Structures are given as C-alpha cells and as structure tokens.
Amino acid sequence: MEKEITEEKGADINVYEASFNISPFLNEEALAQEFGNIKENLNKMGAILISDQYPKPLELAYTMERVIANKKQKFNQAFFGWIKFEIDATGLASFESSLKADE
C-alpha cells in the first residue's frame, strides 16, 4: 500500500489528506475492511473525519514495487482512495506510522 499525506493549514487547525493505493488483489470484502481499518485508526487517534473517497480501481502510470510477506510484488493497478481529516501533530505521527507498517 502506498500512501501520501498532505497538509493544509487554517487559522488554528491542521487539515490533512491521506491518499493511498491498496493492492488490486483484494476482493470487495477485504477492500472494504482495509478502508474501514484506516478510518478506524484515525478515529482512535482523535481525528475528525471531513470527507473521503472509497478506493476505486486505477491503472497506475508506472509499475510500483512493494515487499509483502518477504516477496517483492509489482503492481500496474491499484485501488486508489483518500481521506481528509483534522488531527493534532501527535496523532498524525502515530497515524502515519500505522500506515507505513501496514503491508
């Protein structure tokens, strides 16, 4: 899963958007569960969810590689989704760590 987090600064709040690519090999049930897990992690870390886009199939512009279960996997497609949320700096660091640890 590839992820990217961007930041928008407002008056006293920080709004972030996490975008991610999820393995195209997941079935619909596993995809829904993975997306739900990402949102649940944000809630546990005190985030306020603003909006999101359920992951949709996407043809990647280039081949991406990721090590999964000690094997190098190559991907030309993925499910792409994003979540926009508000969170403090401590929660953001924990959320980012949890995303990077998820195969």
pLDDT tier for residue 83 given thresholds of 50, 70 and 90 = very high
In 27-101, beta strands by DSSP E: 48-68, 71-86
SS3 state of residue 43: helix
The pLDDT > 90 percentage for the chain reads: 49
Contacts of 42 (CB under 8 A, 6+ apart): 49, 83, 85, 87, 95
In this structure, are residues 41 and 98 in contact, taking their beta carbons and an 8 Å threshold?
yes
Kindly list the distances between the CA atom of residue 43 and the CA atoms of 18, 25, 70, 87, 100, in Å, as whole numbers in the listed order: 14, 27, 30, 10, 17
pLDDT digits (tens, 9 = 90+) for 42-63: 998 889 999 999 999 999 999 9
